[in-house]
């Protein structure tokens, strides 16, 4: 099945002239590590296998939940900037990617853009923020045109290359997995209302990838995106600037938390210790995308939260209405 496009020149010119975000493409590899590297990590050995115009630095306030970072796309990076009632589609002519092709059951892939680098974490966890967007939304959800991307991570303690671009429950992020009907809490419909600054018709929330790692060891990343089944209708993956970071975990709880709130994990039982218990307040557990997963009234200086209903992943705990108590991240295994 082939999809044909007709795009008047005047529309194409106006499409990318009204954006509130700015995109600078064809960045030198030396700048990419500086753009991604955050707290307690080192990024090195960066290589890019993309059409030069298919990756770039973006910044600015828009419908995109990330305000600054690196975008890799199957078209031209500067075409990301524009109203959603326009159209972003460009065949770059690069080949597909074998790993992504295997991910989609051997279907042909096109216009691949691939970033690879090594990352050395100082702590025993590694996190970073990402989002995904596509022009394939909403018409081609559930079809063969399921443009694919993955963030493959490999290194000590991992069973080969693992795709860490996933929802908190481990579901891989893809057009057919995150949309208005499936995992909709992570989906932004950029046509309702019509977005004015990002051209893609659908986007995900800002998601957090998480992995337990061995400190001071080298982990390799391959971040790849490609069109599936044909080379039109662009898609992009957005990596938040400076968000690659490492922290330390003790008994699966972030030990870099505010000292006024401590967490003790025992299986599915999470005990929250609040020496100055805020009477009448509520403990709120949210996903990293901001979805409220659980609410438990504070019960004295020790409140037990039952996590048995939550899937494995990274979560955030905070005391509702208490700005003086910092939120704490924790991991449910």
SS in 3 state form for 78-142?
HHHECCCCCCCCCCCCCECCHHHHHHCCCCCEEEEEEEEEEEEECCCEEEEEEEEEECCCCCCCC
Distances (CA, A) of 142 to 6, 7, 146, 185, 238: 24, 25, 7, 18, 23
Q: How far apart are CA 72 and CA 68, in angstroms?
A: 13
Identify the pLDDT of residue 249.
54
Residue 159 belongs to some domain of the structure: yes
Residue with tokens 């303690």: 157
Residue span of the structural domain in which 255 resides? 250-332
Domain end (from 184, 217, 247)? 247
CATH of the domain at 287: 2.60.40.3080
Q: How far apart are CA 300 and CA 281, in angstroms?
A: 10
Identify the pLDDT of residue 69.
96
Identify the pLDDT of residue 251.
38
**What would the two tokens of residue 73 be?**
């796309």
Q: How far apart are CA 141 and CA 156, in angstroms?
A: 36
Identify the pLDDT of residue 326.
75
Residue 2 belongs to some domain of the structure: no
- Residue-wise pLDDT for 185-218, tens only, equals 999 999 999 999 999 999 999 998 988 899 999 9
* 107 and 232 co-located in one domain: yes
Q: Is the pLDDT of residue 6 over 90?
A: no
Q: How far apart are CA 241 and CA 130, in angstroms?
A: 9
Residue 4 belongs to some domain of the structure: no
* 187 and 319 co-located in one domain: no
Identify the pLDDT of residue 323.
67
* 162 and 175 co-located in one domain: yes
* 233 and 259 co-located in one domain: no
* 324 and 210 co-located in one domain: no
- Residue-wise pLDDT for 23-49, tens only, equals 999 888 889 999 999 888 899 999 999
Q: Residue 207 gets which letter from DSSP?
A: E
* 226 and 258 co-located in one domain: no
Q: Is 251 exposed, middle or buried (0-12, 13-18, 19+ CB in 10 A)?
A: exposed
* 13 or 304: which leads in pLDDT: 304
Asked whether the CA dihedral 35, 212, 146, 93 is positive or negative, the reply is: positive
Domain end (from 216, 247, 278)? 247
Domain end (from 223, 247, 271)? 247
Number of domains the chain contains: 2
Where do runs of H (alpha helix) occur along the chain?
Answer: 9-15, 29-36, 98-103
* 194 and 129 co-located in one domain: yes
Q: For the chain, what is the largest distance between any 2 Cα atoms, rounded to a whole number of angstroms?
A: 66
Residue 241 belongs to some domain of the structure: yes
Q: Name the band, by pLDDT with cuts 50, 70 and 90, for residue 333.
A: confident
* 319 and 183 co-located in one domain: no
* 132 and 265 co-located in one domain: no
Residue 212 belongs to some domain of the structure: yes
* 275 and 181 co-located in one domain: no
**What would the two tokens of residue 144 be?**
């063969």
Distances (CA, A) of 48 to 23, 75, 96: 17, 15, 14
* 122 and 258 co-located in one domain: no
* 191 and 286 co-located in one domain: no
């Amino acid at each position: 099945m082939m999809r044909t496009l007709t795009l008047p020149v005047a529309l194409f010119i106006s499409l990318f002239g009204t954006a509130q975000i700015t995109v600078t493409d064809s960045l030198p590899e030396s700048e990419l590590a500086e753009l991604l590297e955050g707290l307690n990590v080192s990024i090195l050995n960066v290589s890019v296998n993309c059409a030069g115009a298919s990756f770039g630095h973006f910044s600015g306030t828009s419908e995109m939940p990330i305000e600054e970072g690196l975008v890799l796309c199957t078209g031209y990076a500067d075409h990301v900037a524009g109203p959603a009632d326009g159209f972003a589609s460009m065949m770059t002519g690069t080949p597909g990617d074998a790993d992504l092709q295997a991910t989609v059951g051997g279907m042909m892939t096109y216009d691949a853009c691939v970033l690879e680098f090594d990352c050395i974490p100082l702590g025993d966890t590694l996190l970073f923020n990402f989002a995904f967007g596509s022009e394939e939304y909403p018409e081609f959800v559930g079809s063969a045109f399921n443009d694919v991307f993955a963030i493959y991570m490999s290194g000590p303690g991992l069973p080969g290359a693992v795709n860490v671009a996933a929802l908190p429950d481990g579901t891989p992020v893809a057009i057919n997995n995150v949309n208005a009907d499936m995992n909709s809490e992570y989906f932004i419909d950029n046509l309702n209302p019509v977005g004015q600054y990002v051209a893609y018709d659908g986007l995900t929330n800002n998601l957090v990838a998480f992995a337990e790692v061995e400190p001071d060891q080298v982990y390799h990343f391959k971040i790849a995106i490609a069109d599936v089944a044909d080379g039109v209708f662009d898609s992009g993956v957005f990596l938040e600037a400076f968000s690659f970071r490492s922290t330390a975990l003790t008994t699966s709880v972030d030990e870099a938390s505010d000292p006024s709130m401590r967490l003790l994990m025992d299986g599915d039982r999470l005990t929250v210790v609040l020496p100055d218990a805020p009477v009448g307040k509520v403990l709120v557990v949210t996903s990293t995308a901001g979805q409220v997963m659980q609410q438990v009234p504070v019960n004295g200086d020790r409140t037990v939260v039952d996590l048995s209903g939550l899937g494995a992943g990274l979560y955030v705990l905070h005391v509702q209405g208490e700005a003086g108590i910092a939120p704490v991240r924790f991991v449910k295994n």
